Amino acid sequence: MPFFIRKQNSEPKDKKRKKLLKTQNGKKKQKTSSELTNGHSTKKIKKQKELIDENEEILSDTDEENEQAMNGNVRLDNLLLNEEEDDENDFHEQRLKRAKEYIEQIAKQEHEKELDRDTVSDRLRDDVLEQAGKLHRQVASNYSQPILLHSCHGHQQSVTCVCISNDNKYAFTGAKDCSIIKWCLSTGKKLHLIRRIGKIDKKNERLPVIGHYDHILAINISTDGQFLVSGDKSNLIQVWNAQTCQHIKTLRGHQGPITGLAFRRNSHQLFSSSQDRSVKLWNLDEMTYVETLYGHQEPIQAIDALMRERCVTAGGRDGSLRLWKIVEESHLMFTGHKGAIDCVALINDEHMVSGADDGSIALWSVSKRRPLFNLPHAHKVTSVDPALIPESLPEDFWITSLASLRYTDLLASGSFNGTINLWKSTPEFNHLIHLFTLSQIGFVNDLKFSPDGNYLVVGIGQEHRLGRWWTIKSAKNAVLIYKLDKNNT
């Protein structure tokens, strides 16, 4: 049977209850006192916060970043460094991506032509040299005798100017009959005709002029084939859509006939020369005039431009060539011909060729003010029957036109006796080697190589493009398209 044994020292139940009540009452008093003190302190903190909020100023971004830095958070310097590193990485990645796309594009182009893989590196090297203006490929020795592919008739008067599209498909010609014709190079067919318009009163400049009513003396096309420009004897420059041959804009400003037009390569920056002795710069993206350059003492006869923001002009009877540096706002003068300089063509951005009315052709470097080479009487020998040439023509066979296959050693020159000579320039530009002679009857007023070097387009007329001093009645006003074939070897 279970049983319990009590301790002798055990307290009675009433005393124990009294102790428990005392301890519980003491704890309640402590809690209430602590709650009172805590409530009083929280009220004080709230009041302080309200005062701070009323007087608080808005911190700037830099103050907040400094405060974070003081609190041990991310440092500002580290943030900037990380952002710069991210920007640099993105920039380098974009450049690398563009370079890869460029190399792939070149590789595809060369693969289509079934060329070796080494040509990709050659193309890259040529592009670098072309950008620097120092590319000079030796190709003239590879050509055989040019063959007359098409003799195109469409102009009623002398053909004065020629240009070829960069895709090597089309040629555009202007003439004294105030018309422009678009030709197909491969077939020789006339694709479009921009007709002459009725004469307009020059006094009212607000009247729109959609076309030409006077002799067209200059024509050119932009590298991307978007704009075709033509200049005439009435001091106007007309801008056309090269694809549709629709009129876009008339540029006014010159006080004399427009003798030359040249686009800066891979841009819509246009240079124009005039018999008012000035060169004007135009921006065709905005169809606006930019500035005028002065320096020549006589009417300017020709102009040319390439990759750099500069152009070269032939000053005619002032006997000088001038290289205009647009960015530097300066120009260089070159002298060396004995006669009037009537034509000029850039070979690359460092070298050029010029022709004069004394029959001489000169090679130049932009770093020297005198010619590197001067060939007198370049068109003295001719196979044309002398009876077909008027006796009133000068004995010195006037160089009336020049062309260069850009960045190569192949050149072409034309004279008023109907002969077209093809030349090879040496790598040092100190000599010209005669390659071929093409005989025609009439004034060779202009000629151009196609960019791929497969065609030579020639504008022939009964009269000189700038005047009517002589007339060769036996000549035909025509556009000649020559096929330039390369040797198999």
What is the tens place of the pLDDT at every residue in 367-410? 999 999 999 989 875 555 555 556 666 666 889 999 999 999 99
For 435-458, the pLDDT digits (tens) are: 999 999 999 999 999 999 999 999
Query: Per-residue pLDDT tens for 250-286?
Result: 999 999 999 999 999 999 999 999 999 999 999 999 9
How far are the Cα atoms of 73, 85, 93, 94, 198 from residue 81, in angstroms, in the given order?
16, 6, 18, 20, 69
**Would you say 464 and 400 are in contact if contact means Cβ atoms under 8 Å apart?**
yes
What's the topology of domain 147-198+209-380+393-483? Methylamine Dehydrogenase; Chain H (2.130.10)
Tell the burial category of 278 from Cβ atoms under 10 Å away from its Cβ (0-12, 13-18, 19+).
buried
Amino acid letter for position 153 = H
pLDDT in tens, 198-225: 887 665 666 778 899 999 999 999 999 9
Please tell me the predicted confidence (pLDDT) of residue 53.
Answer: 45
Distance CA 174, CA 249 (A): 18
Contact predicate 420/447, CB 8 Å: yes
**Amino acid of residue 351:** H
Distance CA 403, CA 274 (A): 20
Query: Are residues 230 and 219 in contact, defined by beta-carbon separation less than 8 angstroms?
Result: yes
- pLDDT at position 7 over 60: no
Q: What is the pLDDT of residues 301-320, one digit of tens each?
A: 999 999 999 999 999 999 99
Residue type (1 letter), 404:
S
pLDDT at 128 over 80: no
Domain positions in the chain are 147-198+209-380+393-483
Percent over 90 (pLDDT), the chain: 59
Largest CA distance in the chain: 164
Amino acid at position 205, single letter:
E
Q: How many CB atoms lie within 10 A of CB 249?
A: 15
Q: Which of 97-101, 314-318, 342-346 has the lowest mean pLDDT?
A: 97-101
Indicate whether 484 pLDDT > 70: yes
Global pTM reads 0.74
Do residues 351 and 366 lie in contact, with contact meaning Cβ atoms separated by under 8 Å? yes
Reported confidence tier of residue 10, pLDDT bands at 50, 70, 90: very low
Q: Out of 93-102, 160-169, 459-468, which region has the weakest mean confidence (pLDDT)?
A: 93-102
* In contact, 420 and 412? CB cutoff 8 Å: yes
Long-range CB contacts (< 8 A, 24+ apart) of 240-244? 240/180, 240/194, 242/165, 242/170, 242/172
3-state secondary structure of 286: coil
Q: Distances from the Cα of 68 to the Cαs of 39, 49, 90, in angstroms?
A: 32, 21, 28
Q: In this predicted structure, which of 63-72, 340-349, 434-443 has the lowest mean pLDDT? A: 63-72
Mean per-residue pLDDT of the chain: 82
Summarised one tens digit per residue, pLDDT across range 42-56 is 444 444 444 444 444
More confident residue, 297 or 27: 297
Q: Name the H helices within 113-202.
A: 118-132
Residue 259's pLDDT is 96
- The better pLDDT of the pair 140, 134 is held by 140
Q: Quote the pLDDT of residue 45.
A: 45
154: left (phi over 0), alpha (psi -120 to 50) or beta: alpha
